Amino acid sequence: MKILDGIILAQTKNRTHRIRNSISVIISSLLFGVLFFGALFVSGMLNSAEKYQDFGFNKRYLTIVLPQYGGDGGWDAAEGRARSIANKDLESRGIKVTDEITESEEYRNHVIELTFQDLDKQLGQIYDELAKKNDQKFHPSAKYEMRNISTLNNSAEAITNDPDPLLTKAKDATEKRTLQKTINESNWQDNLSFNLLDNEMAQDMLSDGQSMKVGDDGSIPIFMPYKIVSKFSSVKIDKKGLSTAQINQKYRELFNDVIGKTVEYCYRNDAAKDLLIRSLEYNYQLAKDKSKETPITINDCAPISDKRLDQTLPTDAEIKKPLFPKADDKQQTIAPITKTLRFRISGIAPYSDPFDRSNIIFSQVNIWPSGTPMIIPSTVANDSIELKQIIDAEASNTDYSSTFYDFENRADQKRFIASGCQGSFECGSKPGDLWIQPFGNVRVALEMFFDIFKILILILAAVTVAVAMFTTMAIIGKTIGESRREIAIFRALGARRRDIAQIYVGFGLILTFRALLLAFVMAVVAALILSYKYANAFNAELIAATGAYTSNINSSLIGFDMLWLLAISGALIMAALLGLILPIAMGTRRKLINQLREE
């Protein structure tokens, strides 16, 4: 039978039980609509992310390697050792360890600090063990390798761990929290990490017309996160009610207002000063001569204008003597001295934005913001470097915590992740494993985000295909069961079994194509609605995550990836064809004379 004839006869089946056929079409289309929607939505997100390829670290394939704490018993064991040390310390000074002491916040903080120190020491051991284990090549094509030295982090942590004297005057826990927040913001505690970048790497993050060179006025260039940059600008951004374009415009206004400006800023305490000065020193040395001392200007400045901070400080007598005084005497026991540091803002780092957002995209792109490179020990060659060599070069007992690699392309990065962690970045769950994760690239972050759902999507796809198959099997089986007499008549009129099969395959495919069309239309409508509702917000996330302050890109949450759409369509057609086999075989198997006689 010719194809068109088959379609003509199949169409009569389609018209016979309209309601029943429509129900089967709707069931299949709902399921496949979800898959279509997923494909459209994911494509839309990835395509939108692609538009930001020229911004931030999106052209790079940065990767962070982070050893897992937990060797030798993990946190609990480390904490046990820390408690023991703390107790011995107190006892050696004649202080009896009571429940009141062990339940105090000061004791608890001290134990946490000791625990971290214990775990930090283990990191060096983990690296040593890994190096001994084999000649594992961690970064065959990494262009740069950077180290995050946790001693610097410790100085930042000191800000956290040393109670600000002002806090002692807080009336209650609520006021204490408010004060702590204000102090933290003043110290830039959470925001100063992202300002030390290799010169060459920094090119991707530099704003137009900016460089990492020391300015003619002696100003030292520095990257600033949005959150801090906004402190120097009169541009105030409130995202409520703003469209993507308007958000973008605000970003650009902010950018134009601060980039290239030399500013002076009051820091609040010595720890913050240390951190900032270290950053400026590093940038200066990168740009100038490393041997020369950095000409940093420090002037007195007016106290911070926050009323809660601008109050009478407690006297020494009012300050309770700490349980665990610092040996190096860096404990802040006096009021913070406000001073000014002078620098030039040469770029905005996408670590923190004026909206102070923290969501999955942002955090995936900036996965380890507090661990971004504090020191870049060296630029390494393209050829393979073994971990052992790095460790040898950097002294294995140093308590560094993480390493960054910069790859030429995604394939190399993927290979690196796979080779370093047996194929999955999630394998850092065991003590001694390394946690390896891409960083800074929106597209990669989204891929990783969707990887989380890969199994879920596969399960959904399998269920969908199975349901479509059984729906087809049921509907065709039912139709054939009701059409035995007709099949017999057709065969009496000269139809071959193949012709009968062709009619019912045609019928099945008509239902399938109806389901596909309906599924696609529903998916497009759903994606359009979602895009209309959330594309602006998504775009804003991308802007914030990449620091794309010069762009005016409109995002959409609907994208047409033909490969995916064809794959889903193919899956439905395959499911339908599989579902057709059994009922057609059953329907054409019976003896013709019996079929005519029995009806």
Partner 1 sequence: MQKDNSDQSDPKIRQIISQEYNGNTQQLIDELRSYLRSLNEKSEQPAIEPARDFSNQPIIVKVNNVSYDYHITRKNIVHALKNVSLEIHQGEIVALMGASGSGKSTLMSLIGGLDRPNNGTITVNDQDIGKLSNGQLTKYRNQTVGFVFQFFYLQPFLNLRRNVEVPLMFGRSKRKDRHEPIDRSISAVNLTDRASHKPKELSGGQMQRAAIARAIVNRPKLLLADEPTGNLDSKSGADMMNIFSEIREQFGTTVLIVTHDQNIAGKADRIIYMKDGEITHENP
Tell me the closest approach of the beta carbon of residue 475 to partner 1, in angstroms: 18
- Alpha-carbon distance of 178 to 169, in angstroms, equals 12
Token readout for 506 is 């045609």
> Under the criterion CB under 8 A, does residue 486 sit at the interface with partner 1?
yes
Per-residue interface string for the shown chain with partner 1, residues 497-526, x marking contact by CB under 8 A: --x---------------------------
Q: How many CB atoms lie within 10 A of CB 533?
A: 10
Question: What is the H or E stretch that residue 407 is in?
Answer: strand 402-407
User: Strands (DSSP E) along 246-302, which ranges?
Assistant: 262-267, 298-300
If one asks whether residue 589 binds partner 1 (CB under 8 A), the answer comes out as no
Q: How far is the CB of 482 from partner 1 (least distance, A)?
A: 13
**CB of 7 or CB of 528, closer to partner 1:** 7
Q: Interface with partner 1 by CB under 8 A: which range of 27-35, 322-330, 488-496, 504-512?
A: 488-496
CB of 502 to partner 1, least distance (A): 10
> Judged by CB under 8 A, does residue 597 bind partner 1?
yes
Q: Which of 411, 459, 492, 521 binds partner 1 (CB under 8 A)?
A: 492
The DSSP code for 192 is: S
Burial letters 549-576, b for 16+ CB under 10 A, else e: bebeeebbbbbeeeebbeebbebbbebb
Q: Interface with partner 1 includes 493 (CB under 8 A)?
A: yes
Q: Does 2 bind partner 1 (CB under 8 A)?
A: yes
Q: For partner 1, which is the closer residue by CB, 411 or 492?
A: 492
Segment interacting with partner 1, rule: CB under 8 A, options 28-36, 181-189, 238-246, 483-491: 483-491
Residue 458 interacts with partner 1 (CB under 8 A)?
no
Strands 339-349 and 221-225: parallel
Q: Residue 232 in contact with residue 345, Cβ under 8 Å?
A: yes
Output the CA–CA distances (angstroms, integers) from residue 193 to 115, 322, 394, 459, 549, in the order listed. 23, 28, 21, 41, 20
* Binds partner 1 (CB under 8 A): choice among 81, 83, 176, 491: 491
Do the beta carbons of residue 250 and residue 377 sit within 8 Å? no
Q: Which stretch binds partner 1 (CB under 8 A): 10-18, 107-115, 270-278, 543-551?
A: 10-18
* Alpha-carbon separation of residue 216 from 207, 245, 260, 262 (angstroms): 18, 36, 12, 11
Segment interacting with partner 1 (CB under 8 A) among 80-88, 309-317, 465-473, 588-596: 588-596
Q: What CA–CA distance (Å, rounded) separates 510 from 502?
A: 12
Applying CB under 8 A, among 108, 181, 326, 496 the residue interacting with partner 1 is: 496
- In the Cβ-directed half-sphere of 337, how many Cα atoms lie within 13 Å? 13
Least distance CB 512 / partner 1 (angstroms): 20
Binding partner 1 by CB under 8 A: which of 321, 494, 562, 563?
Answer: 494
d(CA 237, CA 230): 9
Dist. CA 573–CA 505, nearest whole Å: 11
Determine the Cα–Cα distance for residues 94 and 589; give it in Å rounded to an integer: 96
Instruction: Report the residue from 166, 495, 505, 568 that binds partner 1 according to the rule CB under 8 A.
Output: 495
| Residue 350: both structure tokens together | 């996408």
Q: Angle 330-334-340 (CA atoms, 0-180°, nearest 5)? A: 85
Rounded to a whole number of angstroms, the minimum distance from the CB of residue 22 to partner 1 is 16
**Closer CB to partner 1, 19 or 173, in the complex:** 19
12 touching partner 1, by CB under 8 A: yes
Site size for partner 1 (CB under 8 A): 27
**Least distance in Å: CB of 25 to partner 1?**
18
In which residue are the tokens 């494509």 written? 43
How many angstroms separate the CA atoms of 451 and 449, rounded?
Answer: 5
Separation of alpha carbons 561 and 574, rounded Å? 20
User: Of 495-503, 530-538, 552-560, 564-572, which segment contacts partner 1 by CB under 8 A?
Assistant: 495-503
Q: Which stretch binds partner 1 (CB under 8 A): 126-134, 297-305, 455-463, 482-490?
A: 482-490
With binding defined as CB under 8 A, does residue 20 bind partner 1? no
Q: State both tokens at 425.
A: 């970045």
Q: Closer to partner 1 by CB, 21 or 186: give it.
A: 21
Instruction: Give the footprint of partner 1 on this chain (CB under 8 A).
Output: 1-2, 4-5, 8-9, 11-12, 15-16, 485-486, 489-496, 499, 591-594, 596-597
